[in-house]
Amino acid sequence: MQIEERKRTKGGSLMRSLGAVALLMLPAMVFAQDAPPPPNKGDVSWLMTSTVLVILMTIPGLALFYGGMVRSKNVLSLLMQVMIVFCVGVLMFAIYGYSLAFTENNAFIGGFSKAFLKGMTGDSLTGTFSKATNIPELGFFCFQSTFAAITPALIVGAFAERIKFSALLVFIIIWLTFAYYPIAHMVWFWSGPDAFTTLEAGTAANVNAGFLFNKGALDFAGGTVVHINAGVAGLVGCILIGKRIGYGQSALPPHNLPMVMIGSALLWVGWFGFNVGSNLEANGFATLVFANTLLATAAATLAWMLGEWIIKGSPTMLGAASGAVAGLVAITPACGWVGPMGSIAIGVIAALVCLWAVSGLKRALGYDDSLDVFGVHCVGGIVGAVLTGVFNSPALGGTDVYDYVANAFPNPADYSITTHVISQLWGVGTTIVWSGLVSLVAFKIVDLTIGLRVTEEQEREGLDTVSHGERAYNG
């Protein structure tokens, strides 16, 4: 009996021990099921590479593109404006920009829960576009910070050669806060694909997603958030600041077209980080985004050149560089939603419309948008956004929009171009009105306090010596 008992006891204790092990393991197993999988090293590498590429497209790409287009007495002012605005943009994004753009609050703006990057470590994760696939949130922050920093840098081209440097910096801080972060939140903020387990869960998750996200406005890499947003701000700015002295009367030609060419080429290279990086994952789909970015740009460059050759009589370097940028802008919202042939169509159409915008439209309206920020970025952004709704159609080679509840693409026959274009117009219209109003108020505030424009004498002397105390070319 005793032996028996002992056996049982032993057995019992063994059972208990096993039970204890099982109990110990249980939370671990539950954890293993619920815990997000570790980030894929390929995804992380691509995210960081993309971030570097966007920095490359800004400094030096955009800076040289703009710097070459102004007169030699103003080249440093453009290089400085782009570089410094970029730094301001990145820092503001860490302080409160990321939090306002990418945390939950309401449909128009995020909250301050991640201000100063609160709680973010190398282990923090955020979602991608695939279920159960995460990337490090700090990497996502860095990537997005370059977007928030290049966008205001695009604006400076509109009022180049006459803006007061201090006024520009104050304007940028106001504009980023009240235009960029809300628009980024409206277009891009959502809870990620993992929340879409059932239709109800998906609907619940979308309650706090961005206003334009819920309108169904597609913007893969920033056609509305970056280009329309910046383009409108540029238009408002150049109208309020007024034309350059001599505009329309004497020649204000670009001082260094090879510099413009180098800048546009760096923009093109860097844009692969911008567009393909926006896929957040280094997967097969990323190669579609890559192909679209490549093809649209080549098509747009050729289309602008041919249009100019036919209308003006010569295929110019500046025209080719402008065509490349117009194509890049237009494919930005579309690059993850259309097929390669759709991207070629978008490139061609965007280039021809932008060519008209910087010549016919600009002459008719009479504003002095020095480097055509409105004509290329806003107009190209609108063309790209609207055509995304058209060429997203599976019938035209597009990808359609993935259904995360059904875990499948919808029936191609159900795709309605009209519905999608209306969604796209919501994105375009909201961005134009929102950015336009914020810009108007911000420019007015700065004009009344600091003054937007340098004096006539200073403008004639050139901003390099007046604002920065140095000259680009000595000897």
Partner 1 sequence: MITAIIRPWKLDDLQLAVARLGVQGITVTEVTGYGRQRGHSEHYRGSEYQAEFVPKLRVEIVLDDASAESVVEAITNVCRTGKTGDGKIFLAPVGEAVRIRTRESGAAAA
Q: Which residues bind partner 1 (CB under 8 A)?
A: 251-254, 312, 314, 316, 318-319, 322, 358-360, 362-363, 372, 375
Min separation Cβ 360 and partner 1, Å: 8
**For partner 1, the closer CB: 362 or 453:** 362
Cα gap 261→267, rounded to integer Å = 10
For partner 1, the closer CB: 33 or 314: 314
Distance from C-alpha of 467 to C-alpha of 323, rounded to nearest angstrom: 32
Identify which of 340, 252, 360 has the alpha carbon closest to the alpha carbon of residue 295: 340
Report, in this order, helix, strand and coil percent for the chain, each rounded to 5.
70, 0, 25
Q: Could you tell me the sign of the dihedral formed by the alpha carbons of 48, 51, 55, 56, in that order?
A: positive
339's tokens: 């097929």
Cβ neighbours, 10 Å, residue 364: 8
Quick one: 252 or 466, whose CB is closer to partner 1?
A: 252
Report the residue number, 239 or 345, with the smaller CB distance to partner 1.
239
Shortest reach from residue 64's CB to partner 1, in Å:
17
Strand partners, 135: 126
Nearer to partner 1, 340 or 360 (CB): 360
Q: How far apart are CA 28 and CA 263, in angstroms?
A: 53
What is the closest distance, in whole angstroms, from the C-beta atom of residue 473 to partner 1 in the complex?
16
Closest contact distance (angstroms) between CB of 253 and partner 1 is: 6
Output the smallest distance, CB 256 to partner 1, in A: 12
CA distance 427 to 216: 9
**157, two tokens:** 């081209």
Q: Measured from the CB of residue 247, what is the shortest distance to partner 1 in angstroms?
A: 9
Q: Is the Cβ of residue 70 or residue 148 nearer to partner 1 in the bound state?
A: 70
* Shortest distance in whole angstroms from residue 362 CB to partner 1: 5
Q: How far is CA 404 from the centre of its chain?
A: 24
C-beta of 324: minimal distance to partner 1 in Å?
Answer: 13
Q: Which is nearer to partner 1, 228 or 355 (CB)?
A: 355
Least gap, CB of 60 to partner 1 (angstroms): 22
Q: Which residue blocks in 176-316 are alpha helix, DSSP H?
A: 181-188, 199-206, 211-214, 229-241, 257-277, 284-312
Amino acid letter, residue 103? T
For residues 332 and 381, the answer to whether their CB atoms sit within 8 Å is: yes
C-alpha distances (whole Å) from 471 to each of 256, 284, 464 are 15, 48, 6
Enumerate the β-bridge partners of residue 134.
127
Tokens, residue 194: 């993992």
Nearer to partner 1, 54 or 371 (CB): 371
Identity of the residue, 138 or 318, whose beta carbon is nearer to partner 1 in the bound complex: 318
Query: Which tokens in the block code for residue 90?
Result: 């990145």
User: What whole-number distance in Å separates Cα of residue 218 and Cα of residue 67?
Assistant: 33
